[in-house]
């Protein structure tokens, strides 16, 4: 059974700070990794995907992947109150094309 773990939070950071969200996964054959943002009462929306070891930057967001350590993270720079949401880590393998979601980390950015 593949597992994806996240700290449930809440993670509170002041406005303008860097928020760091972490995710670990158990399946070594996992190939693709996704970060979704979910506002309360809304459906998940894709923020970033990452497939190779290293960093991937998109605006204020940076995803970091370390397959050897089975670890993926999301950094949010210059955090804004509008970033307050639950962030879901999702992992997919190249066999079944099935996403396994973590439980999510709730982020609160304080003005």
- Site residues (CB under 8 A) for another protein? 4, 8, 31-32, 34, 42-46, 49, 51, 88, 90, 92, 94, 96-104
Question: From the CB of residue 25, how many other CB atoms can be counted at a distance below 10 Å?
Answer: 22
Beta carbon nearer to another protein, 97 or 111: 97
DSSP letter at 79 equals: -
Residue 13 contacts residue 110 (beta carbons within 8 Å): yes
- Least CB distance to another protein at residue 16 (A): 28
Angle at 80 between CA 75 and CA 81, to 5 degrees: 120
Q: Which is nearer to another protein, 69 or 97 (CB)?
A: 97
CB of residue 76 vs another protein: minimum separation in angstroms?
A: 19
């Amino acid at each position: 059974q593949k597992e994806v773990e996240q700290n449930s939070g809440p993670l509170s950071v002041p406005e303008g700070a860097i928020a760091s969200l972490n995710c670990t996964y158990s399946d070594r054959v996992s190939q693709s990794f996704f970060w979704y943002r979910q506002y309360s009462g809304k459906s998940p929306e894709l923020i970033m995907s990452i497939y190779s070891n290293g960093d991937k930057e998109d605006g204020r967001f940076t995803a970091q992947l370390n397959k050897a350590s089975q670890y993926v993270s999301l950094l949010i720079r210059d955090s804004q109150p509008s970033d307050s949401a639950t962030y879901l880590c999702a992992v997919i393998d190249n066999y079944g094309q099935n996403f396994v979601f973590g439980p999510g980390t709730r982020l609160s950015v304080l003005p």
